[in-house]
Structures are given as structure tokens and as C-alpha cells.
Structure 1
Amino acid sequence: MLKGDQTVFVLVDVQGKLARIVHESEKLVKNLTDLIQGLQILNIPIIWVEQYPEGLGPTLEEVSQHLEGMKPIPKLTFDACKNESFIQALKKSGRTQILVAGIEGHICVHQTSMGLHDMGYEVQVVADAISSRTLENKEIGLAKMKAAGMTITSVETALFEIMHSAEGEQFKQLIKLLK
């Protein structure tokens, strides 16, 4: 179970033209924005990475507009764990449970999740908030991560696990968001 005081969210490479051509791109963007806004309601820290932004372009505006005041960490490696700035941000969070979403599921999401898992973090991959150019590649990435011991979750499952209870102002905000 995800715990609010132990969870950090890692957003992986939702950038440029690639983000527009992945399988079910519009659904991905909707689920990511719901997830980001829900995590912000729940005060969960977010670490945001971009793969070679000079070449792939910036994070989609529909997503980045919800990350106001934050800056993405640029990377060249598919596994964000091979980037020192990412590792520093992760350690600074002090969290041990990592929620991961983004693109592509079989490349950067997979390799980053594996890197986090190998470092001893509890990794949960948000299946309805990741994608690849093809459904088959997304499914291959999810299968490999699950086989390696990572938990596969969904936007609503993750948010309600962190919430724990159907009471209070955060719950009301979350319900309004997800309607």
C-alpha cells in the first residue's frame, strides 16, 4: 500500500511529437493530468524528467501547466537513475515508495523503474498513465516490470491508497477532480 508520507511521483518524458503519437495519447494526457493534480491535492512530491529535451522538445503544455514552479531534470540516459541530478532529487525527497508514469513504457519508464527497483525502492507503475508508440510495446514494458517484482497500479488505485479514507477536504477535492 502506498503511504502519503513515503511516496514520491516520477514523471518520465512526456515530450514533444512523441507524446502525441503514443498509443491512446489523449487518454494518457488526461490520466497524467488527473494523477498530477490528485497527487498535488495529497501533497505528494513530484520529480519530473525529460529525455534529451533539445531533440525531443519540452513536456506537453497540457501536462507541464500543472507543474508550475517546478523544473524538469534533463537526461540523456533512458534510465533516469543514471543521472546524478535525478538521484539527488530522489534522495532529497526522503521517500521510499516511487510511483512512476510517462512514456515510453518499454524504454524509459521500464529502465527507470528497473533502476529504482535495483536501488531498493518500492516501485509502483501507473499502467493507465504510461504509453508507448504501440500497445504491444506498452504491454511488454508492463510485463517485464511486473515480472521483476514491481507493482502495477492505476491512477485511481494509487490516489485512493494514499488517501486511505473517504473524509476531509482532500477527499472532496479528489472526488471532484476524478468525476
Structure 2
Amino acid sequence: MSFERYTADNAALLLIDHQVGTMGWVRSLPFEEMKRNALMLAQAARILKMPAVLTSSMEDYAQGPLLAELADILPAAFDARVKRAGIVNAMDDPDFAAAVRATGRKKLIVAGVTNDVCTVFPVLSLVGMGYQVQVIADAGGSPGKLADNMALRRMEKAGATLSSTNQAIAELVGSWATPEGREIAQRLIMPSMPQ
């Protein structure tokens, strides 16, 4: 099986339900780590000029609004976000499915909250539709480690690739020597490393 790298020219970023309430339900990894990683992905997409699709579910309820930082990083995608009215599988929402198709990309980098509900079902649908999906495990999470592990295993078994934020960004960049690579290294990767 040959390896074809995910690049800004062939991939799109999908961020599913990075909402303040939903993220507060996660216990499989620390809130700040998950938030930092989701925002790093958004910033990388902006720097690399990669298509991004955002969605939220029931923002006026316990799930809460999307992270406010996403409006600063990806203003157009934030304004165009698909506000689902409680539909669990985002791909069952015609507007979200249309937004994914409109990217024109068959490779998708997906992060969502929670992995055991909001990420797993659209990923299963996307893989079934023939998309190549890379799930960023540390930019989402679940209410417990076991629930998160089960969701990640189910997605991987279905054909999704599991990855981490740094790994996905490094793959997208391809070379730290490019202007975009240098900017991402200096602004995103270096500051996120443990001191």
C-alpha cells in the first residue's frame, strides 16, 4: 500500500463541536491540551490556506458556543459554520455534508468533541463514502479514557488513520524550510513544546 502525504493542496480540516460546554465534558485528556491542539490545527489550516469546515450542535444549550478563538483564526469558516439542531452524526446534516463536498478534497483531517459521540459517527460515514480520514486523537476527547479508546479503535477498525496534532501538522507542512513551515514551527510547534 503506497503512502500519499496529506498536504494543504489535497486535504481539508473538519472541526466538529469544539464548544465550551461539550469540551468541559471531556475527561480523557486535559481541557487546555485539547483546546491548544484544536486551535493549532485551525492556525495551521489558516497559514497553509487549507479549506476548513466548522460545525456546532445546539449552541444555545449545555453544549455552549464554539471556542471564540476560532472566530479570530478562521473567521470565514467560523461565520459559515454549520449549526446543527441536535443531529448527532454531522454527515446526516445536509448543510454539513454539502460543506464537506464543497471543499473538493478526498483527504480529511478530523477532530471533534466528544470522540465517542460527535466524532465517531461522521468519521464512520466519511470512510464509508470513500474519503481518506485522519482523526486527530489529541484535539478531541471523551468523558472517559475507556470511551475514548473504544471510539478511536472503532474508527481505526473502519479504516480511519489515527494521528496526533504535531504529527498531522508536520505531515501537512512537509518542510520546515518553507515560509509556511518556518511560521508554523515558530508560532505553533515551538511554543507548544514542554519547557
Q: TM above 0.5, one fold?
A: yes
Aligned to 1:2: 6
Whether 1:57 aligns to 2:59 is no
> In the alignment, which residue of structure 2 is the partner of 1:30?
36
**Which segments of 5 or more consecutive residues in structure 1 lack a partner in the other structure?**
none
Provide the secondary structure at the position in 1 that maps to 2:60: helix
**Partner deviation per Cα, 1:108-139 (whole Å, 9 max, x = no partner):** 10001111111110011001111112122111
1:2 maps to a residue whose letter is Y
Letter in 2 for 1:104: T
Deviation string, structure 1 residues 26-76 (Cα, Å, up to 9, x no partner): 110011111111121111111001012232221122444322233220112
Give, in angstroms, the shift of residue 79 of structure 1.
1.1
Pick one of 44, 49, 53 that aligns with 1:47: 53
Aligned to 1:99: 109
Aligned twin of 1:69: 76
* Kept in 1: contact 2:17–2:66 (CA 8 A): yes
Aligned runs of 1:1-179 on 2, under 5 Å?
1-23=5-27, 24-55=30-61, 56-70=63-77, 71=79, 72-75=81-84, 76-176=86-186, 177-179=188-190
Distance 2:48 2:100 in 1: 18
The one-letter code matched in structure 1 to 2:104 is G
Distance in 2 (CA, whole Å) between partners of 1:136 and 1:85 is: 32
Cα deviation code 1:142-176 (max 9, x no counterpart) = 11101111100111111111112232210110111
Structure with greater strand percent: 1
Q: 1:62 to 1:113 in 2, by over 3 A?
A: same
How many residue pairs get matched? Answer: 179
Q: Distance between the aligned counterparts of 1:175 and 1:166, measured in 2?
A: 7
Distance 1:64 1:102 in 2: 17
Q: Percent identity?
A: 26
Unaligned runs of 5+ in 2: 191-195
Mark the CA change 1:167 to 1:83 in structure 2 (over 3 Å): closer, same or farther: same
Indicate conservation of the 8 Å contact 2:89/2:122, yes or no.
yes
AA partner of residue 154 (structure 1): S
